[in-house]
Structure 1
Amino acid sequence: MTITTINYKLLPFCLCKSDPSIDTTTMSNVATKVAVVGGGISGAVCASTLAKNGISVTLFESARGPGGRMSQRREISEDGKELLFDHGAPFFSASNSDVLRLVHEWESKGLVEEWKENCGSFDCISKKFLDIEQEAPNKKYVGIPGMNSICKALCNETGVESKFGVSIGRLECLDDEKWSLTGLDGQNLGRFSGVVVSDKGIASPRFTDVTGRPPPLDLSLTPELALKLQDIPVSPCFALMLAFSEPLSSISVKGFSFKNSEILSWSHCDSSKPGRSTASERWVLHSTANYARGIIAQTGLQKPSSATLTKVAEELFQEFQSIGLNIPRPFFMKAHRWGSAFPTASIAREQKCLWDRKKRLAICGDFCVSPNVEGAILSGLAAASKLTEMLSCL
């Protein structure tokens, strides 16, 4: 997909944090406090960019840490070994100049590194590897030491206050052009001059199907945005995390897609990435969307049970074994469900984010631009640009 280059030249802000005459301890008391909901790469990039432009940011994330689909899973094997898996996005590429500028900055800080292993595809009928790349058109980048390292760093930058394990129960637009946020437990989370929502679920009818509660953001407040946010198509997926005592020497590449499999779509050797432990060989497999939809149709949208995940893990591994590469039994195996993390549509390709100027509300994410990490970054930059321009005029 070709992504148009946009230069996000953020306007100078009246309280510039780089000005030594400004007491940054008072930043939290200025009128320009913004809440960012969601600590995935889009929300984290947006929060960091806002903070660099002198805006005080509070980021709320319901999970224990940042990352979203770029999170890293920590597991403990039966014999007590720590195992780390990038079970969502295995890597990312970039071609847009604004994104590449950020990536090079992250490289200089040791947050990302190029993953130089070859990838390809495997035909499950002919039992052969195909299309093994010798030189990819774009570099494959990974976070160091995990994919979530980028989001962790962005969420800890000066000017960003991050609150993890906090679920938003309600976002209310007040008469004084402020936003009030309330936690799921009823806690008052504060008032803000603007809000960025980087989690499409917070305003989706699907939220009610999963939780039984109304969405935290009442879309009747923004009818135009509501139309675009209705029923964004998503591709569900089950991820399987595997750890082996010995390298899988029969596999000639470290990442490959599956052709002619109704169950598996992608696999990669997580331990082959730079900065990872090589004490064991760890692989992550992703299911096809059709397979995941079939399981969800049987079990529902609620969090899958341990029995369901065990069944899924066995079925995915059996398919992996059946491709004829003499794959041994792993000493660790566990499945995880990604219910709606992979969007299949782009709802704001030109604008890069959804924006209600009157309400000072931006909605960003990969579902706005393109369903990948680069699209999420571009959308976060766009949301930050909209709010910075708006709030600099106050």
Structure 2
Amino acid sequence: MQNAVTKVAVVGSGISGAVCAAILARNGVSVTLFDSARGPGGRMSQRRELSEDGKELLFDHGAPYFTVTNPDVLSVVGEWESRGLVAEWKLNFGSFDCSSNKFVNIEQQERQSKKYVGVPGMNSICKALCHEPGVESKFNVGIGKFEWIEKENLWSLMGVDGQNLGHFMGVVASDKNIVSPRFTQITGQSPPLDLSLSPEFVKLHNIPVYPCFALMLAFSDPLSSIPVKGFSVINSKVLSWAYCDSSKPGRSSESERWVLHSTMEYAKDIVAQTGLQKPSKETLSKVGDEMLQEFLSTGFGIPQPFFKKAHRWGSAFPAASIAKEEKCLWDKNKRLAICGDFCISPNVEGAILSGLAAASKLKGMLCSL
């Protein structure tokens, strides 16, 4: 265990965990990043789908873009922009009122906050950060247990399959469910972190979250009757947001691809009926039909898409911010940090800020050892 003093485990490869891992690695800390998913991204995920004729279709089905106001985050994003990982999405957006079937606002691009997107996909940022020198990324690895070894003053991590994943001087987790009963409801297993190890993390116990359904659509021809490339939807019980994913910088324009997001209320109602387990094909097909019908009813003469698939985003938006001042949860004695959008604000900027804060805590602690 001699080399454990420089080792930190980061659990979760969403933007918060990825930012934290990259910052630590740049400061000489050896980082092993774990994620149960096939690849990085979290809310910055991109999905690869195939149409019936075998055509590849890529969709940013989570966060469509992000804005930045914090100087520290602006500095980070500026570096990403110089590396070609992000670009500004310079198109007009608006708000559509379903009760009048009219746009009530079309905001010109020059009057808007800058909208940043990952290039060539939203997950490009996390992909790059997870492969920084000093970061070893392990995907398809779910964490089953965090164990504190008092004698060695180290953490031991175990996989959901019981595999020993190693010993670490510090741990960062960007999953709000690590101590939550929600973890048990979804997986049937006990939460990975026993709250008695860090009682001050009780804030994490049951953070309320709002779900969302995303519908991915592909059309043979551009939807030229829609005057904007992204719009919020008001006075709809089903849709909250629609955007032309293929209009973003660096995307293929072979087909026109749109992503629709449901309202929280609609998603909560579906989840209440079907439960937290992975939704069935029948449920997703029904959701897809209802969301598409709402889109078609906007009166723009939208044709039937040649591809349609719905996806449930189970923990889309945390309904609470548990560490606005501290920006992350921190157990100094055990060198354990919890970061994520649920700490500050439910958006990409909040997640980045929380990841930066967690890296700062661990970096300062490890450098003093």
2:147 corresponds to 1:151? no
Distance (whole Å) between structure 2 residues aligned to residue 344 and residue 215 of structure 1 = 21
Distance (whole Å) between structure 2 residues aligned to residue 138 and residue 40 of structure 1 = 23
Is the contact made by 2:84 and 2:119 (CA closer than 8 Å) also made in structure 1? Answer: yes
2:249 corresponds to 1:266? no
2:77 corresponds to 1:103? yes
Given residue 200 of structure 1, which amino acid in structure 2 is its aligned partner?
K
Alignment of 1:188-227 (within 5 A): 188-226=164-202
Is the contact made by 1:345 and 1:367 (CA closer than 8 Å) also made in structure 2? Answer: yes
2:53 corresponds to 1:64? no
Would you say how many aligned residue pairs link Structure 1 and Structure 2?
366
Is the contact made by 2:88 and 2:117 (CA closer than 8 Å) also made in structure 1? Answer: yes
Distance (whole Å) between structure 1 residues aligned to residue 113 and residue 237 of structure 2 = 29
Alignment of 1:104-183 (within 5 A): 104-134=78-108, 135-175=110-150, 176-183=152-159
Given residue 207 of structure 1, which amino acid in structure 2 is its aligned partner?
F
Is the contact made by 1:36 and 1:60 (CA closer than 8 Å) also made in structure 2? Answer: yes
Task: Find the counterpart in structure 2 of residue 5 from structure 1.
Answer: none
Task: Find the counterpart in structure 2 of residue 383 from structure 1.
Answer: 358
Task: Find the counterpart in structure 2 of residue 313 from structure 1.
Answer: 288
After superposition, the C-alpha distances for 1:45-87 in whole angstroms (9 at most, x for unaligned) are 0000001111110000110100011010000000110000000
Is the contact made by 2:4 and 2:168 (CA closer than 8 Å) also made in structure 1? Answer: no
Distance (whole Å) between structure 2 residues aligned to residue 386 and residue 338 of structure 1 = 30
Report deviation, 1:222.
1.1
Distance (whole Å) between structure 2 residues aligned to residue 190 and residue 268 of structure 1 = 43
Task: Find the counterpart in structure 2 of residue 303 from structure 1.
Answer: 278
Distance (whole Å) between structure 2 residues aligned to residue 241 and residue 137 of structure 1 = 26
Task: Find the counterpart in structure 1 of residue 24 from structure 2.
Answer: 50
Distance (whole Å) between structure 2 residues aligned to residue 30 and residue 125 of structure 1 = 61
Task: Find the counterpart in structure 2 of residue 87 from structure 1.
Answer: 61
Is the contact made by 2:45 and 2:123 (CA closer than 8 Å) also made in structure 1? Answer: yes
TM-score, scaled to structure 2: 0.98
Report deviation, 1:372.
0.4
After superposition, the C-alpha distances for 1:139-189 in whole angstroms (9 at most, x for unaligned) are 100000000000000000000000011000111011121000001111110
Is the contact made by 1:47 and 1:154 (CA closer than 8 Å) also made in structure 2? Answer: yes
User: Normalized per residue, which structure has more strand?
Assistant: 2
Report deviation, 1:30.
5.3
Distance (whole Å) between structure 2 residues aligned to residue 277 and residue 248 of structure 1 = 16
Distance (whole Å) between structure 2 residues aligned to residue 305 and residue 163 of structure 1 = 28
Task: Find the counterpart in structure 2 of residue 255 from structure 1.
Answer: 230
Task: Find the counterpart in structure 2 of residue 8 from structure 1.
Answer: none
Stretches of structure 2 lacking an aligned partner (at least 5 in a row) = none
Distance (whole Å) between structure 2 residues aligned to residue 136 and residue 295 of structure 1 = 37
Task: Find the counterpart in structure 2 of residue 364 from structure 1.
Answer: 339
Distance (whole Å) between structure 1 residues aligned to residue 246 and residue 291 of structure 2 = 20
Report deviation, 1:219.
1.2
Distance (whole Å) between structure 1 residues aligned to residue 105 and residue 344 of structure 2 = 28
Distance (whole Å) between structure 1 residues aligned to residue 325 and residue 81 of structure 2 = 28
Distance (whole Å) between structure 2 residues aligned to residue 344 and residue 116 of structure 1 = 30
Given residue 79 of structure 1, which amino acid in structure 2 is its aligned partner?
D
Distance (whole Å) between structure 2 residues aligned to residue 281 and residue 137 of structure 1 = 24
After superposition, the C-alpha distances for 1:12-41 in whole angstroms (9 at most, x for unaligned) are xxxxxxxxxxxxxxxx93512000000000
After superposition, the C-alpha distances for 1:346-377 in whole angstroms (9 at most, x for unaligned) are 11000000000011100000000111000000
Task: Report the secondary structure of 2:192's partner residue.
Answer: coil
Distance (whole Å) between structure 2 residues aligned to residue 299 and residue 114 of structure 1 = 38
Same amino acid, percent of matched pairs: 73
After superposition, the C-alpha distances for 1:176-233 in whole angstroms (9 at most, x for unaligned) are 210000011111100000000001122211111111111011112111111x112211
Task: Report the secondary structure of 1:201's partner residue.
Answer: coil
Report deviation, 1:132.
1.3
Distance (whole Å) between structure 1 residues aligned to residue 111 and residue 120 of structure 2 = 23
Report deviation, 1:287.
0.3
Task: Report the secondary structure of 1:349's partner residue.
Answer: coil
Alignment of 1:335-350 (within 5 A): 335-350=310-325
Given residue 361 of structure 2, which amino acid in structure 1 is its aligned partner?
K
Given residue 187 of structure 2, which amino acid in structure 1 is its aligned partner?
T
Task: Report the secondary structure of 2:317's partner residue.
Answer: coil
Task: Find the counterpart in structure 2 of residue 41 from structure 1.
Answer: 15
Given residue 87 of structure 2, which amino acid in structure 1 is its aligned partner?
E
Is the contact made by 1:95 and 1:138 (CA closer than 8 Å) also made in structure 2? Answer: no
Report deviation, 1:137.
4.1
